[in-house]
Chains A and B, each alone.
Chain A
């Protein structure tokens, strides 16, 4: 297993943890309305962890993709 495959797996795990926490936070959030200032900040952090995981997984998978013969 090379470092990019490992990175992809780590990204998927981070994304899954973020998604799980985000779903949990969504279920317990009651403050909704046009005044978004009332929304719990922790949910944004969970969503950010989810996004981070997705981005790391895609970036690492791209870095692992084979390069064409002759390319640098």
Chain B
């Protein structure tokens, strides 16, 4: 065992294990019901029309399949900051590093997104309505208040996992009940069935799917749908602090996505049924008029108001005054709750990355009193605030984060299958049935979501991931001089992880060549582009699956019997794997 691994092992044991199944489920749900529920229904219907409902189902099912793969890994090896660690466990240093880097990029920026969502929602009530946010980007005073919000939740996390977890439970109850009340009231007061079938004059296609199927899939990645569901990872990332990980992690991971699908599909249905085209000054069925113009502004004042506060605007327009007030209040509560959760996730990601040896060992130091790693929390706060600079608007950030996060989920399926071969002796409290099908499906699904993020975003993601190489080289030379991890850069690890840097390049090329609805140059139009992505994904899946090795980390977990499973906990019962 290297020095870094020994410290990581010690630090893992110092973390307080005080979260029960409900806490873990609510952490995942708290990540899922954030700013997404306030904005994504509007954004999705402006892209896909009423067929946005299908977008939610597609996005939800893909994320569910990905989550099921991680449920087995999470229950098998529960760790804080788990997601960054599984790539390393199954495919060694190179794949582990790339995944950790991509996940780091996404995890540290989500608190910034949620803080921005709060400020954008508050904007109409402060000053002249453009003091905090001018409709396109946050203003300096808006950035100041967003940073202040992050500082508040920094302290909530600092008080320890128990206070943070229970506060989140309270917030998540609120966040779950309010969307359900909104659905019930909107459907009761105003629900126009014609909105689901009316086709705008001069348009072709069907009223339900006015712009064809390609935008339905584009909406999955770019309107915040997948972004909303990605919160399932909290159950994994906080898994090392669970009292009963082998039972709680699968329930939290899979259960949260299922509840999320139900709530979001119903919200989308309620939103579409409640839209009054006459009030908005646009023809019936003209969903595309809700989208921003090339300048970033909106067609008229009512649409601008609807965009800034979609559900509150609708509630107000149908006379639901109390709901309007509560929705505006929730615009602060829901994203704040998600900010609270993700600040902790960001901290655990940094901790997990340090435990792999890619960041200084000081980031693994667990505070004796709080029993959390304090330094990663401080860094998460600082880096999150820095993220306000290059991406100063909610919608601009979402696409990038979704792609970066989903890219890291590519490894879930191959990791599960290769660990079944290379770590047969590890106990599997949750044994995913049909994994030979579900693992490649998760890989294909994650590939499609990255592709749907569109060009040039996928290219930008590739650049961001390759920038990680520079950090890797610095890290390599620094480590080479030190006493630990002398074999960090062996050909074994390059062979096991080479598919990762190659695949991001291939995905970028696919995105460049692909359908124009996803920003590509239409060399491979729909539906051939989808076929291309699926076939290439299958090839890369088998490459990734067969690249898996028995790593030192797995060897140590087996040797030291350090799965951290609690003997008193009942395992999760399933139909069994194959």
Do A and B actually bind?
yes
Dominant SS at the B interface?
A: helix
Contact check: which of B125, B173, B322 meets A23 at CB < 8 Å? B322
Cβ–Cβ contact B305 & A34, under 8 A: yes
Cβ–Cβ < 8 Å partners of A62 in chain B: 166, 169-170
Whether the pair B174, A63 counts as a contact (CB closer than 8 A) is: no
B17 at the interface (CB under 8 A from A): yes
Give B124's nearest chain A residue, CB to CB.
Answer: A37
B305 touches A32 (CB 8 A): no
Q: Is the CB of A58 within 8 A of B170?
A: yes
Nearest-neighbour CB distance to chain B for A44, whole angstroms, equals 4
Whether the Cβ atoms of A22 and B279 lie closer than 8 Å is: no
Contact assessment for A55 and B325 in the assembled complex, using a CB-CB cutoff below 8 Å: no
Judge whether A59 and B170 touch: CB under 8 Å: yes
A residues in contact with B170, CB < 8 Å: 54-60, 62
Q: How far is the CA of A35 from the CA of B129 in the complex (A)?
A: 12
Q: Within 8 Å CB of A68, what residues of B?
A: 243
Of the candidates B16, B171, B276, B322, the one whose C-beta lies within 8 Å of that of A22 is B322
Contact A36 B333 (CB under 8 A): no
**Is A50 in contact with B316, judged by CB distance below 8 angstroms?**
no
* Of A22, A36, A46, A63, the contact of B163 (CB 8 Å cutoff): A63
Residue B330 CB within 8 A of the other chain: yes
Complex-state Cα separation, A68 to B244, whole angstroms: 11
Within the assembled complex, what's the spacing in Å between the Cα atoms of A56 and B333? 12
Task: Let me know if B328 and A47 touch, CB within 8 A.
Answer: yes
A39 interface residue (CB < 8 Å to B): yes
Interfacial chain B residues near A37, Cβ < 8 Å: 124-125, 129, 305
Within 8 A of B (CB), among A24-52: 25-26, 29, 32-37, 39, 41, 43-44, 46-48, 50-51
- Asked whether any CB of chain B lies closer than 8 Å to the CB of A72, the reply is yes
A71 within 8 A of B: yes
**How many angstroms between the C-alpha atoms of A33 and B167 in the bound complex?**
35
Shortest CB–CB separation between residue B331 and chain A, in angstroms? 9
- Closest residue of chain A to B164 (Cβ to Cβ) is A59
A55 to B129, CA, bound (A): 29
Q: Are A46 and B325 in contact (CB under 8 A)?
A: yes
- Nearest-neighbour CB distance to chain B for A43, whole angstroms, equals 4
The interface residues of chain B lying within 8 Å CB-to-CB of A35 are 301-302, 305, 313, 316
Residues of A with C-beta under 8 A to B129: 37
Chosen A-B contacts, 23 in total, with CB atoms closer than 8 Å, are A32-B316, A32-B319, A32-B324, A33-B316, A34-B313, A34-B317, A35-B302, A35-B313, A36-B305, A36-B308, A39-B316, A39-B321, A39-B325, A43-B321, A43-B325, A44-B125, A47-B325, A47-B330, A55-B333, A60-B166, A62-B169, A62-B170, A72-B243
Q: Which chain A residues have a beta carbon within 8 Å of chain B's beta carbons?
A: 22-23, 25-26, 29, 32-37, 39, 41, 43-44, 46-48, 50-51, 54-60, 62-63, 67-68, 70-72
Chain A to chain B: the 4 pairs with minimum beta-carbon distance, closest first: A59-B170, A47-B329, A58-B170, A55-B170
Residues of B within 8 A of A (CB): 16-18, 124-125, 129, 162-163, 166-167, 169-171, 173-174, 243, 276, 279-280, 301-302, 305-306, 308-309, 312-314, 316-317, 319, 321-322, 324-326, 328-330, 332-333, 568
